[in-house]
Amino acid sequence: MIGITVGMIVVAGASLMMTKQVDEHRRLVQETQVQQDLRAAADLMLRDLRRAGFWATPESGVWAPGATMPASSPYSDTTPAVDTQAGDVLRYSYSRADNYVLPLTTPPGDAEDNVVTERESFGFRIDNGVLQSLLGGNWQPLTDRETLTITRFNVKLTVQPLFLDGFCSVPCPDPAACPLQQIRYFDITLSGHPRRDDKALRTVRVTSRMRNDRIVGSCPA
């Protein structure tokens, strides 16, 4: 009887240890999967957001002596727009025209019309724990609601100004009112956990610079 009792205690201890190891392994696998899913979503956002502000006819925005006032890119705006804002919805746009392709496609494709259409408007947001992407005017899920719950999507845009008043033929009374090049950096924070385990929370942060700087303001007449 004593031997049986001791054996049962040993078996119970071993079973408890095995159960704990299985739970730890399951938690580790879940955390690794969450980390991979968050990193994949962040990398996708990173690659697309770098294209924000692309303009198929940037030469239209270059001033030359004797020319009329240069045009402004319709794709330069983003939301949030300045470094004092941080939000959980990101919107931006870029041109999908093929003016820049040499030679042009045969037959020619879409030409730049300087109008931001639905197919040129993009964004990311959280809706009910799902990370969504704006495509063609519709919000499409990027993450699976059944396996992953997104708890945080935060975007912060930092703007570094570069004053261009020295390029104006007429001196500017105030450099801030003259042409200004905005060098923009964005920080994205993405957090999530498995649907059935809110303790396995993981966070991914990515930072990058937008390839297309924004030009604001104009030289005095």
Paired tokens of 62: 């270059």
Q: What is the pLDDT of residue 3?
A: 66
Q: What is the pLDDT of residue 157?
A: 86
> Hey, what amino acid is at 14?
A
The pLDDT tens digits of the residues spanning 51-80 come to 898 888 887 777 665 555 667 788 888 888
What average pLDDT does this structure show over 46-54?
A: 89
Q: Parallel, antiparallel, or unpaired: how do β-strands 202-209 and 180-194 relate?
A: antiparallel
**Sign of the dihedral defined by the CA atoms of residues 113, 117, 156, 56, in that order:** negative
User: What is the pLDDT of the chain when averaged over all its residues?
Assistant: 79
Q: What is the pLDDT of residue 20?
A: 63
The pLDDT tens digits of the residues spanning 136-189 come to 899 999 998 888 999 999 888 888 888 877 777 777 777 667 788 889 998 889
The pLDDT tens digits of the residues spanning 126-135 come to 999 999 999 8
Is the per-residue pLDDT at 191 higher than 90?
yes
Percent helix, strand, coil in the chain, to 5, is 30, 30, 40
Q: What is the pLDDT of residue 21?
A: 61
Is the per-residue pLDDT at 33 higher than 90?
no
Paired tokens of 24: 């730890």
Greater pLDDT, 220 or 163: 163
Greater pLDDT, 135 or 218: 135
Paired tokens of 20: 């704990």
- 205-214: b (≥16 Cβ within 10 Å) or e: ebeeebebeb
Q: What is the pLDDT of residue 190?
A: 92
Q: What is the pLDDT of residue 83?
A: 59
CA 162 to CA 176: how far, in whole Å?
10
Q: What is the pLDDT of residue 164?
A: 79
Rg of the chain on CA atoms, in Å: 26
